[in-house]
């Protein structure tokens, strides 16, 4: 079923160094149990893809990793810190080491690109000079290939450009972990490929460890060093793209057959 187009690992992954470690994680809302006791490690230097259908718990999982939601049970350790035990100030400090790329890019519509990129620097690194801020903005814009958009408004950008600027805004704080929530959602196939390439370039240039939440198998195959498949609040399978989909499990086969873009 799967073919040989999966990502080739080009950066060293240290499997003795988990940057995120989750044990027995449970989360529910009312009578609906979304995560049912999952265990997961994300290793230093790794792009980990979490696959699953809408409603499978993917976005809840990534929000717990970022400290935006609290678990009902279990432990979540991020960069050696148990996020459930952190106070507000400690959690805010940890978040500066984590870049969160939101599905809708989360740009401020009333700010131009420069102001959107400057905002997290001014808020979190108040010791920086104007020239240091200018240099940081220039670097991340160059890294995402959008130096020409410095004074454009978000409304003047394409969907792919907004996605790139959203990623640039997370990179400007030089995070150790990147969290991508449906990075190719709503994008055309050509732009999706460009975003997939950018995710891999970020891994190379910034030496990040990343979690990529997606139901897009083309994205998963292009970016993932390892994949885990989430279904009904539990992990079904994990491994390379080939290993995950080399199965007769109807849940996995149906997901593949419905989502995969042939020939990509």
pLDDT at site 11? 67
Backbone φ and ψ of 107, nearest 5°: -85, 155
Say what the pTM is: 0.90
Domain that holds residue 141: 108-174
pLDDT band of residue 6 (cuts 50, 70, 90) is: low
As for how many domains the chain has, the answer is 1
Residue 121 lies in a domain: yes
Look at strands 14-29 and 32-44 and give their pairing.
antiparallel
CA atoms within 13 A on the CB side of 190: 2
Residue 132 lies in a domain: yes
Do the beta carbons of residue 27 and residue 35 sit within 8 Å?
Answer: yes
- CA 261, distance to chain mean position in Å, is 21
Give per-residue pLDDT as tens, 121-147: 998 888 899 999 999 999 999 999 999
CA atoms within 13 A on the CB side of 201: 15
**How far is it, in rounded angstroms, from Cα 109 to Cα 128?**
25
Residue 161 lies in a domain: yes
Do the beta carbons of residue 61 and residue 74 sit within 8 Å?
Answer: no
Residue 128 lies in a domain: yes
Residue 164 lies in a domain: yes
């Amino acid at each position: 079923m799967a073919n040989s187009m999966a990502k080739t690992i080009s950066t060293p992954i240290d499997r003795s160094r988990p940057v995120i470690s989750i044990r027995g994680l449970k989360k529910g809302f009312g009578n609906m149990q979304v995560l049912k006791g999952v265990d997961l490690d994300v290793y230093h230097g790794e792009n980990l893809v979490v696959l699953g259908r809408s409603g499978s718990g993917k976005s809840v999982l990534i929000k717990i990793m970022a400290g935006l939601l609290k678990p009902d049970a279990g432990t979540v350790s991020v960069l050696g810190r148990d996020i459930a035990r952190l106070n507000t100030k400690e959690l805010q400090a940890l978040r500066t080491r984590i870049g969160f790329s939101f599905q809708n890019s989360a740009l401020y519509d009333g700010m131009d690109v420069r102001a959107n990129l400057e905002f997290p620097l001014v808020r979190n690194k108040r010791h920086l000079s104007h020239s240091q801020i200018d240099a940081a903005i220039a670097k991340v814009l160059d890294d995402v290939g959008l130096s020409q958009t410095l004074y454009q408004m978000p409304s003047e950008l394409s969907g792919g450009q907004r996605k790139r600027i959203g990623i640039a805004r997370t990179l400007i704080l030089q995070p150790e972990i990147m969290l991508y929530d449906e990075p190719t959602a709503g994008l055309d196939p050509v732009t999706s490929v460009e975003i997939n390439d950018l995710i891999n370039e970020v891994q190379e240039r910034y030496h990040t460890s990343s979690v990529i939440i997606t139901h897009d198998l083309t994205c998963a195959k292009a970016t993932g060093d390892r994949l885990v498949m989430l279904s009904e609040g539990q992990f079904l399978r994990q491994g390379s793209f080939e290993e995950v989909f080399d199965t007769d499990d109807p849940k996995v086969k149906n997901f593949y057959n419905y989502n995969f873009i042939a020939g990509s």
